[in-house]
Structure 1
Amino acid sequence: MSNVSRDSLLDAWNQELSRTLLPTSVFLILCIVVGVVGNSLVIAIYGLKLRGAKERYFIPYLALVDLLAVCETAGFNISYNFRAVNYDNKELCRWSSFFGFLTVILSTFLLLVIAIQRYLKICKPFAKQMTLKWKRMAMLCTFVGAAVITAPIPVTYGLDPAYSERFNVTGSACRRLTQEYISLSLFHTIICNVGFAGIVSALIILYTQVGRTIYAQMEHWKTQESSSNAIQMDNMPDGANNSSISKRKKRTMFKITLMFMLISVIFIISFSPKVVIFILECLNGRFWDSLPPNTRLLVRFLDITFVINNIANPFVYAFLDVKFSQQLRRTFCGHDLSA
């Protein structure tokens, strides 16, 4: 086959795939717009107006990771859609994959750290809590741990041969390498999936305990309120007002905890399809090449659903965090964030 005919066939195959994957490209572009605007607002409001709020310490850092993640992963996946089988920049492929995985794992570890903090706050209020020093140490450990787990990516990802039986042509795709380093790739896949399963299990266990504690406290308050209805206001103790203030603070703490619980649920749901495809890629070296066009579009959508995790959090804050929603309204009414 001459170079001209090979290049034309490869170009025809690539254009067909680009058209097939166009809906996912549009979706990713929307994710970038929403993610950049939403996470930038979160960083600005929590970092400037709500700075120093202990309950919300990790939120700006999580938003920063989400901002970097949505720009990196969505941007890279858009370029992949348009150069699905004629990718030619090996270094860009390797390091884009590395930084994409790094931001995803950073986000995952941060959610675990937040879950531990909420567990201590709600379930162990009289035990030793996370101090500012330990929060900073946790951030450092999160980054180091994510970097270590992501380290094999530049080796296990690169330009992999992609073959089409219909076009009878071989191209190159930026993805997990299936011809070389297969043992390292398999080992890395096992480590990542065991780690994901462990973190998901930890999130479920921690937030189950947190949920039970919050439910028990709410039921206790309902009982107290029912009993107090029979007492005249004149006979109420002097400490009732302080008790009411303490209860409001606890309700705020509970609401923020429930907010983080919802964020974790969104993470688990949006990231699970990616984990399944991650495994299938390793078990079948020709996984993507063997998919028919319509199936490829569906699987590709499932492959990028994890991006939802990076754009959903600002909406959660807007609906569940009163202080954030108040500052958001002031921002759009023309008030300066730094005022």
Structure 2
Amino acid sequence: MNLESWNAELSEFLIGNDSVLILYIIVGVFGNGLVLFIYLVRMTKKSDDRYFIPSLAAIDICACVIGSSYALALNLLPVRFPGDFLCRVLWFLSQASTVSGGTLLLVIAIHRYMKVCRPFSNTWSLRVKRLVILGTVTVSTLLSIPTIFLYGEIQVVNDHYRDNNVTLVGYRCGNISDPRALLGYNIFLLVFAVSGVAILTICYIFIAKTIYSKVMMYRKSVKQMHTIPKPELSVSTVSDIKRKSKSIEPCNNQQHEETGEFHENSNEHDRENDDKFQNTHKDEKSNHHKRRSQDILLNAHIPAMKYHFTHYRYSYMFMTITIVFVIAYLPRIIIMLLESIFGIEFWNKPDSVIIGLMFLYRLYILNHVVNPFIYGFFDARFRHEVKLLLSRHKKGSLHPESQTGQ
């Protein structure tokens, strides 16, 4: 057996994982590239809600390409990794791009909190937003610098063939530092990640409470006025709703007065009737009033909820992206922490277990791949531009054939 055979034997059982990584690269680059093209080229009108999306998409492309390519190199060249310098650079770039994505999500959460919960405070200017993005990349770069000194090329020897006087020496990319230094760095990353998740959670809890209170305010106003305000008033105050409904209330009051007079005249006319008939009539009137209130609430609920989702769709969108990021990134942090505690022996497990651990370890890349699909689900304008682009592409592909037929 030579080094090539040894490397092929070690990499063979990771073919399934390699296929997933290649899929990550293809879908991630295409999806985030489409996001960049549409938000930067097709949407000429700049929106405050969409400002950070192109920056997040650019980070996602880098994370997909660098993270997946580095993981493929580790899978395909487990004992033939090409050089110490490449190992250090790829580790650093992979870490920096991932941390940048998480830090930018933290910035976006704070921005959404200011916009939804503190709408009358000073908004972020274009200069502030650019400085925030630059600061995000700078902080992530500084946090990733230790990886340059913690990881590098490691010499590995195949002990199995020593008895046959055949010694195979290979090289892989891994931890070259004191295990205590790696453990300290991974604990720091864990604390940083937990702190970030706590801040994200607090911001989005306040955002959710604000949205919920405005929805309940709208429902309360409908119950009090027995009329249906316009859907856009679901984000207004009760006083605004009442002020804008003054023109409707006199008609409703006059109608109630006329109805009251009718019932009064009817009662006078039927005063000699039995008391049981009067009680039945009152019950019917009460039931009619309840049914009318329920119909008003039902008719008001659908347009109000539709406008409510449209108005707050970007808050829901970034909430979803953040939840996916936390779920995808948490296994990587835990496995890195366990690896720094138990060392190389942590990976001395059956092949099926290693395949599962590898998938969880690289699950963070999936977060950068699915973000374009989340944009498409929440942003109707983005969906429209994608459909328009695809329809033009189909027409363009059919046009040469039609010319040939002529």
Amino acid of the structure 2 residue aligned with 1:54: D
Which of 19, 43, 52 is the equivalent residue of 2:36? 43
1:184 partnered with 2:242? no
Q: CA deviation at 1:275?
A: 0.5
| Structure 1 residue matching 2:327: 3-state secondary structure | helix
- Distance of aligned partners of 1:273 and 1:165 in 2 relative to their CA distance in 1, 3 Å threshold: farther
- Distance of aligned partners of 1:238 and 1:54 in 2 relative to their CA distance in 1, 3 Å threshold: farther
Kindly report which structure 2 residues correspond to 1:225-244, keeping only aligned pairs within 5 A, or say none: 225-226=222-223, 230=227, 236=245
Matched positions, count: 321
| Structure 2 residue matching 1:125: 3-state secondary structure | coil
Q: Could you list the per-position Cα deviations for residues 241-289 of structure 1 after superposition, in whole angstroms to 9, with x for gaps in the alignment?
A: xxxxx99886534111000000000000011110111101211221454
| Structure 2 residue matching 1:334: 3-state secondary structure | helix
Query: What is the CA–CA distance in structure 1 between the aligned matches of 2:228 and 2:330, rounded to whole Å?
Result: 52
Q: CA deviation at 1:121?
A: 0.9
**Percent of aligned pairs sharing the same letter:** 29
Amino acid of the structure 2 residue aligned with 1:173: R
1:195 partnered with 2:198? no
Q: Could you list the per-position Cα deviations for residues 16-61 of structure 1 after superposition, in whole angstroms to 9, with x for gaps in the alignment?
A: 2211111110001011110011000101111122341111100000
Q: Could you list the per-position Cα deviations for residues 170-213 of structure 1 after superposition, in whole angstroms to 9, with x for gaps in the alignment?
A: 63221222xx3434323322221111111111111111111121
Q: Which residue of 1 aligns with 2:93?
A: 99
| Structure 1 residue matching 2:320: 3-state secondary structure | helix
Amino acid of the structure 2 residue aligned with 1:268: V
Query: What is the CA–CA distance in structure 1 between the aligned matches of 2:53 and 2:338, rounded to whole Å?
Result: 34
Higher mean displacement: 255-264 or 211-220? 211-220
Query: What is the CA–CA distance in structure 2 between the aligned matches of 1:54 and 1:300, rounded to whole Å?
Result: 39
Q: CA deviation at 1:141?
A: 1.1
Query: What is the CA–CA distance in structure 1 between the aligned matches of 2:363 and 2:321, rounded to whole Å?
Result: 15
Question: What stretches of structure 2 of length at least 5 have no aligned partner?
Answer: 163-167, 231-243, 249-303, 394-406
Residues 186 and 333 in structure 2, CA contact (< 8 A), matched pair in contact too:
no
Aligned-residue CA RMSD (Å): 2.7
Q: Which residue of 2 aligns with 1:221?
A: 218
Normalising by the residue count of structure 2, what TM-score does the alignment of the two structures yield?
Answer: 0.73
Amino acid of the structure 2 residue aligned with 1:29: I
Amino acid of the structure 2 residue aligned with 1:50: M
- Distance of aligned partners of 1:217 and 1:24 in 2 relative to their CA distance in 1, 3 Å threshold: same
Amino acid of the structure 2 residue aligned with 1:123: C
- Distance of aligned partners of 1:216 and 1:236 in 2 relative to their CA distance in 1, 3 Å threshold: closer
- Distance of aligned partners of 1:35 and 1:167 in 2 relative to their CA distance in 1, 3 Å threshold: farther
- Using CA pairs under 8 Å that are at least 6 residues apart, name the structure with larger relative contact order, 1 or 2: 1
Amino acid of the structure 2 residue aligned with 1:329: K
1:54 partnered with 2:48? yes
Q: Which residue of 1 aligns with 2:19?
A: 26
Amino acid of the structure 2 residue aligned with 1:318: G
Normalising by the residue count of structure 1, what TM-score does the alignment of the two structures yield?
Answer: 0.86
Query: What is the CA–CA distance in structure 1 between the aligned matches of 2:175 and 2:221, rounded to whole Å?
Result: 59
Amino acid of the structure 2 residue aligned with 1:19: E
1:64 partnered with 2:122? no
Residues 162 and 289 in structure 1, CA contact (< 8 A), matched pair in contact too:
no
Which of 362, 365, 370 is the equivalent residue of 1:312? 370
- Distance of aligned partners of 1:162 and 1:296 in 2 relative to their CA distance in 1, 3 Å threshold: farther
Q: Which residue of 1 aligns with 2:293?
A: none
1:84 partnered with 2:78? yes
Query: What is the CA–CA distance in structure 2 between the aligned matches of 1:131 and 1:99, rounded to whole Å?
Result: 30
Q: Which residue of 1 aligns with 2:352?
A: 294
Query: What is the CA–CA distance in structure 2 between the aligned matches of 1:232 and 1:272, rounded to whole Å?
Result: 45
Query: What is the CA–CA distance in structure 2 between the aligned matches of 1:45 and 1:238, rounded to whole Å?
Result: 44
Question: What stretches of structure 1 of length at least 5 have no aligned partner?
Answer: 240-245
Which of 1, 6, 15 is the equivalent residue of 2:8? 15
Residues 222 and 228 in structure 2, CA contact (< 8 A), matched pair in contact too:
no
Q: CA deviation at 1:135?
A: 1.0
Amino acid of the structure 1 residue aligned with 2:171: S
Amino acid of the structure 2 residue aligned with 1:295: V
Q: CA deviation at 1:155?
A: 1.0
Amino acid of the structure 1 residue aligned with 2:11: S
Q: Which residue of 2 aligns with 1:131?
A: 125
| Structure 2 residue matching 1:222: 3-state secondary structure | helix
Q: CA deviation at 1:220?
A: 2.1
| Structure 2 residue matching 1:86: 3-state secondary structure | coil
Higher mean displacement: 275-284 or 248-257? 248-257
Q: Could you list the per-position Cα deviations for residues 212-251 of structure 1 after superposition, in whole angstroms to 9, with x for gaps in the alignment?
A: 2112222222333455653699x94579xxxxxx998865
Amino acid of the structure 2 residue aligned with 1:313: N
1:157 partnered with 2:156? no
Q: Which residue of 2 aligns with 1:243?
A: none
Query: What is the CA–CA distance in structure 2 between the aligned matches of 1:146 and 1:275, rounded to whole Å?
Result: 16
| Structure 2 residue matching 1:171: 3-state secondary structure | strand
